[in-house]
Amino acid sequence: MLWNAQEIDLFLKEKAYIDTVVIPLLPVSISDGTRQEAEQAEFISLLTAMLERQFKGRMLLIPAFTYMTSRDHRAKIEELKSWCDELSAQGFAHTVCITSDTSWKGHEEELDANIIWMPSIPLHHMDDKYKRKIVDDQVNQLIKIIVQKWQSA
Amino acid sequence: MSNQRVSRRQFLNYTLTGVGGFMAAGMLMPMVRFAIDPVLKAEAGGDFITTGTAEDEITDVPTRVDFTFEQVDAWYTSEVTQTAWVYKDGSGKIVALSPTCKHLGCTVNWEGNPDEPEHFFCPCHNGLYEKSGKNVPGTPPTAPLDMFEARVSDDGILQLGPVVPNTIVK
């Protein structure tokens, strides 16, 4: 389900079937890394949107967890942890965070969530057909990971 | 020749008629174009979208066909990609099923579950559909898969139209 009024109505009605929540993690800064971060945001948004389309009936895609890149690492983790705790208290069995930001690597155990790290691909240079194929491949990988998590739960 | 001189009056008549004619045509042409525009538009093929798949590529095994069109949503224009599962039925008629699960809208896949050959499978809540799109009782979906209107263009390319309720399931 997408985060909009129409689909949230359906979500509220069918809550019992929707046990997975997806949070994109997006860094923001105005510095040397701005360009990369914009690229990541574009890629991750596209990826999560495609993923949502595959699994519309079992996952809720919520607005991204955004943070300033310069923010203290611990504070960031604490903040995301409070999101995850709140969401699992609300009855979501699976919380999946998707990001291209390497700073999240190695912090999975501290959170009650799965952090999936995807390498960001600069899409803006590619022509449409190629772009679609690459994103499709990435989405298929994500699908496999998520189906596995569902089956192992 | 020399005694057929063009008088000043004749010369002015010719030039003014000529220039006036051009001006009148310049004004009338767009009006006529606007007036007959609906007639020209009607031939442009309605709501069917041409896919990248030729008719002879379609077999009796459902294959994924992606097609793209522009969608205008209020002030936002976006390119939308849709998918259809396309195959030929026993009599050679093209069937294009929508991949949207009738339960909660996930995307179903042909033989998406190795344990259920010859079925469409929805990974979200294990919904099952037969090849015709008929939902298997006992799984969450309550209705058969929708289908796209399908036709073949003059040069043998598959074209897909609007989504309609399934007509092959009785």
Report pLDDT for B2: 58
Given a cut of 90, is residue B53 above it in pLDDT?
no
3 state SS of A41: helix
Name every residue whose Cβ is closer than 8 Å to that of residue A117 and which is 6 or more positions away in sequence.
A99, A100, A101, A102, A104, A105
A68 at interface of B, judged by CB pairs closer than 8 A: no
Ordered by where they begin, the domains of chain A are 5-152 (3.40.50)
| CA–CA gap between residue A7 and residue B105 (Å, rounded) | 11
Residue of A nearest to B141 (CA): A57
**B65, B100, B106: which to substitute to probe chain A, counting the most A Cβ within 10 Å?**
B106
Instruction: Return the CATH fold of B49-164.
Output: Rieske Iron-sulfur Protein (2.102.10)
Report pLDDT for A130: 85
3 state SS of A6: helix
Report pLDDT for B93: 87
Instruction: Choose among A55, A128, A132: nearest Cβ to B106.
Output: A55
- Kindly list the residues from chain B whose CB atom is less than 8 angstroms away from the CB atom of residue A22: none
Q: Which residue has the higher pLDDT, B2 or A50?
A: A50
Given a cut of 80, is residue B41 above it in pLDDT?
no
- Kindly list the residues from chain A whose CB atom is less than 8 angstroms away from the CB atom of residue B125: 17, 57-58
Report pLDDT for A113: 78
| In the block, residue with structure tokens 């015709």 | B132
- Distance from the Cα of B31 to chain A's closest Cα (Å) equals 39
Binned at pLDDT 50, 70 and 90, residue B120 comes out as very high
Report residues of chain A scoring pLDDT below 70.
none
B127-159 per-position pLDDT tens digit: 899 998 999 988 888 899 999 988 888 888 888
Average pLDDT of the segment spanning B90-112:
89
3 state SS of B158: strand
ipTM value: 0.76
What one-character DSSP code corresponds to residue B135?
Answer: B
Mean pLDDT over the full length of chain B: 86
Binned at pLDDT 50, 70 and 90, residue B69 comes out as confident
Does B104 sit within 8 Å of A14, measured CB to CB? yes
- Among the residue ranges A37-51, A110-124, B36-50, B91-105, the one predicted with the least confidence is B36-50
- Distance from the Cα of A151 to chain B's closest Cα (Å) equals 10
Query: Global pTM?
Result: 0.76
What one-character DSSP code corresponds to residue A138?
Answer: H
Report pLDDT for B37: 80
Average pLDDT of the segment spanning B98-112:
89
- Kindly list the residues from chain B whose CB atom is less than 8 angstroms away from the CB atom of residue A54: 106-107, 123
Which backbone phi and psi does A39 adopt, to 5 degrees? -60, -45
Closest CA to A61 of A111, A15, A97, A105: A97
Report pLDDT for A89: 92
Is residue A87 within 8 Å of A112, Cβ to Cβ? Answer: no
Report pLDDT for B46: 58
- Distance from the Cα of A14 to chain B's closest Cα (Å) equals 8
| CA–CA gap between residue A111 and residue A41 (Å, rounded) | 22
Q: CB burial class (10 A; 0-12, 13-18, 19+) of residue B51?
A: buried
CA dist A134 → A122, B84, B109, B134 (Å): 11, 20, 20, 33
Report pLDDT for B167: 86
Instruction: Choose among A57, A147, A150: nearest Cβ to B101.
Output: A57
Q: What number of other Cβ atoms are within 10 A of residue A89's Cβ?
A: 8
The pair of structure tokens assigned to A117 is 């790290």
**Chain B 114-143, residues with CB within 8 Å of chain A CB atoms:** 122-125, 140
- Kindly list the residues from chain B whose CB atom is less than 8 angstroms away from the CB atom of residue A14: 104
